[in-house]
């Protein structure tokens, strides 16, 4: 009887240690959950000015096949100090990080942002093409 | 027995040995600017006799207007502030303001300290004391209050093509004639203009004289070429600049921590209650210009400004 009791305790402890060390929810280097989702696309893009209001004229046009974003900014926008934001499919991330003040003033070198799928296996790089609204001639 | 003694001692009510009591609170909020007032409420009361006098001593003598009000204030059942005259012989000499009280055992006096130029960038503290008719005396001292280094000017009128040249250094708005007659072209930091431009929103704008692409044909005095940095804000509604309408205060530290490295030299489309940070070309001054009033369809704005010398 004593031997059975000892054996049961050992099995319980081994089971406890094994289950407690098992990693149920993998996370990436930023501590974000890695899921099974392979979808990878950007669904919305916005740019905020120094006053934290949008500087876009209308909505940005996103081509998920060509992986481009075309957006027109208001006349008089300071392109050196803009804060980009976007929406992506569930569980996806964006790199480099958006939401920080960014210099978009060199329109000949469009900025690029990469959307990474929830399973972190699909990466799609979007190119942001900006144009500036002009007065009617 | 010991427990009993302990319980009795613990429950014993501490007696006020002095029948005269006082307390003081500072009512003014936000940074303290030269020329503005700091308001204290000094409450005194005695259970023996009547109040004789009250005195406030500032560590730096206040400017003209410093002193006690002649009233004690109480609140009516309807919630209104009701003044009751309780003093005579009010005086302020140097750092000391005093009031002789008449026929009252309790009063809350208002003391206003008008911040003098000498206190700019300094710390100022206060001590209050009161006497009663039976010879008792009480006093209270305040902590030190930092006096801002900022300057402020309010309600400047700007108008397109007229008084439209803004100097941050002088904190004034000039006409072209005033610029030319005073040889002030080097002081022009911003030009105000209002335009309706087809296809875009322009409206009320503040433009550096050097930002030629946005001047829209505005006349620039000879020699005016400053290239200021200016950055629009919409939610910074300073209480001083807006005449007490909002509960936000711009303080010295806001100017000191400001990063204007990527700011433009123009801002378009100003509306009422918006504003902008400004840094002069030489980096000597940083300012916040607040739009007190602007009609979106009519030229002209009323602006106010806070400014800090950085260098």
Any idea what DSSP says for residue A96? S
Task: Give the pairing of strands A123-132 and A68-73.
Answer: parallel
In chain A, count H helices and then E strands: 1, 7
What Å distances lie between residue B114 and B65, B80, B119, B160, CA to CA?
Answer: 6, 26, 10, 36
pLDDT of residue B1: 47
How near does any CA of chain A get to the CA of B206, in Å? 12
Residue of chain B whose alpha carbon sits nearest to that of A51 = B233
pLDDT of residue A7: 67
pLDDT of residue B17: 60
pLDDT of residue A4: 66
pLDDT digits over A48-103, tens only? 999 999 999 999 999 999 999 999 999 999 999 999 999 999 999 999 999 999 99
Measured in whole angstroms, how far is the alpha carbon of residue A124 from the centre of its chain? 11
pLDDT of residue B244: 87
Q: State whether B202 and A76 contact (CB < 8 Å).
A: yes
pLDDT of residue A25: 79
pLDDT of residue A22: 53
Give B10's pLDDT tier (boundaries 50, 70, 90): low
pLDDT digits over B275-303, tens only? 999 999 999 999 999 999 999 999 999 99
How near does any CA of chain A get to the CA of B201, in Å? 7
pLDDT of residue B14: 47
CB within 8 A of A93, min separation 6: which ones? A28, A30, A32, A115, A116
pLDDT digits over B11-52, tens only? 555 445 679 999 999 999 999 999 999 999 999 999 999 999
Per-residue pLDDT at A11 exceeds 60:
yes
Domain boundaries, chain A: 42-132
Q: State whether A80 and B262 contact (CB < 8 Å).
A: yes
Residues of A in contact with B232 (CB under 8 A): 49-51
C-alpha span between B89 and B91 (Å, rounded): 6
By CB atoms closer than 10 A (0-12, 13-18, 19+), residue B95 is middle
Q: What percent of chain A has pLDDT over 90?
A: 79
Cβ atoms of A45 and A62 closer than 8 Å: yes
How near does any CA of chain A get to the CA of B158, in Å? 21
* CB proximity A58 to B under 8 Å: no
For the domain made up of A42-132, the CATH class stated in words is mainly beta
> Cα-flanking dihedrals φ and ψ of residue A99, to 5°?
80, 15
> Cα-flanking dihedrals φ and ψ of residue B198, to 5°?
-60, 130
What is the count of residue pairs from A and B with beta carbons less than 8 Å apart?
Answer: 53
Mutate to test the interface with A, among B195, B217, B229, B232 (most CBs of A within 10 A): B232
Mean pLDDT of A115-128: 97
Q: What percent of chain B has pLDDT over 90?
A: 90
pLDDT of residue B6: 52
Residue of chain A whose alpha carbon sits nearest to that of B267 = A76
Query: CA torsion, points B278, B279, B280, B282, in degrees to nearest 10?
Result: 180
Cβ atoms of B58 and B145 closer than 8 Å: no
Mean pLDDT of B177-181: 95
C-alpha span between B32 and B54 (Å, rounded): 24
Going along chain B from its start, the domains and CATH numbers come out as 19-146 (2.60.40.3550), 151-309 (no CATH)
Give B113's pLDDT tier (boundaries 50, 70, 90): very high
pLDDT of residue A137: 86
Give me the residue label for tokens 């669904």.
Answer: A43
C-alpha span between B227 and B265 (Å, rounded): 6
Mean pLDDT of B52-60: 97
Cβ atoms of B194 and B299 closer than 8 Å: yes
Per-residue pLDDT at A136 exceeds 60:
yes
Q: State whether B232 and A49 contact (CB < 8 Å).
A: yes
Model ipTM value? 0.77
Give B223's pLDDT tier (boundaries 50, 70, 90): very high
Cβ atoms of B61 and B114 closer than 8 Å: no
User: What is the SS3 string spanning B131-145?
Assistant: EECCCCEEEEECCCE
pLDDT of residue B45: 96
């Amino acid at each position: 009887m004593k031997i059975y009791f000892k054996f049961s305790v050992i099995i319980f402890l081994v089971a406890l240690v094994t289950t407690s060390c098992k990693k149920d929810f993998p996370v990436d280097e930023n501590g974000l959950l890695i899921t099974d989702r392979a979808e990878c696309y950007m669904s919305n893009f916005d740019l905020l000015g120094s006053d934290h209001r949008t500087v876009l004229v209308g909505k940005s046009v996103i081509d998920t096949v060509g992986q481009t974003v075309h957006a027109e900014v208001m006349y008089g926008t300071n392109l050196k100090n803009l804060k980009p934001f976007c929406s992506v499919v569930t569980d996806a991330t964006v790199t480099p990080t958006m939401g920080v003040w960014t210099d978009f003033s060199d329109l000949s070198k469009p900025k690029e942002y990469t959307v990474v799928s929830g399973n972190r296996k699909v990466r799609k790089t979007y190119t942001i093409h900006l144009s500036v609204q002009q007065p009617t001639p | 027995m010991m427990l009993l003694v302990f319980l009795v001692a613990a429950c014993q009510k501490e007696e006020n040995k002095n029948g005269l009591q006082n307390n003081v609170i500072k009512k003014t909020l936000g940074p303290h600017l030269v020329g503005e007032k700091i308001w204290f409420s000094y409450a005194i009361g005695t259970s023996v006799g009547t109040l004789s006098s009250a005195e406030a001593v500032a560590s730096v003598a206040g400017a003209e207007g410093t002193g006690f009000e002649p009233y004690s204030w109480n609140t009516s059942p309807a919630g209104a502030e009701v003044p009751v005259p309780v003093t005579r012989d009010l005086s302020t000499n140097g750092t000391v303001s005093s009031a002789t009280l008449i026929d009252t055992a309790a009063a809350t006096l208002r003391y206003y300290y008008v911040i003098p130029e000498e206190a700019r960038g300094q710390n100022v503290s206060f001590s209050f004391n009161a006497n009663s008719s039976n010879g008792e005396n009480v006093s209270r001292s305040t902590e030190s209050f930092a006096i801002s280094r900022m300057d402020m000017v309010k309600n400047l009128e700007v108008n397109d093509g007229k008084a439209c040249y803004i100097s941050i250094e002088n904190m004034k708005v000039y006409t072209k004639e005033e610029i030319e007659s005073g040889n002030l072209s080097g002081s022009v930091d911003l030009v105000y203009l209002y335009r309706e431009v087809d296809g875009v929103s322009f409206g009320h704008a503040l433009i550096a004289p050097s930002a030629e692409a946005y001047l829209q044909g505005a006349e620039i005095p000879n020699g005016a070429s400053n290239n200021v940095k200016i950055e629009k804000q919409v939610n910074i509604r300073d209480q001083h600049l807006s005449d007490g309408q909002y509960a936000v205060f711009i303080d010295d530290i806001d100017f000191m921590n400001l990063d204007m490295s990527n700011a433009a030299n123009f801002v378009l489309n100003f509306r009422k209650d918006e504003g902008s940070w400004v840094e002069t070309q030489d980096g000597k001054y940083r300012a916040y210009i607040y739009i007190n009033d602007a009609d979106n369809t009519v030229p002209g704005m009323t602006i106010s400004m806070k400014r800090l010398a950085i260098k």
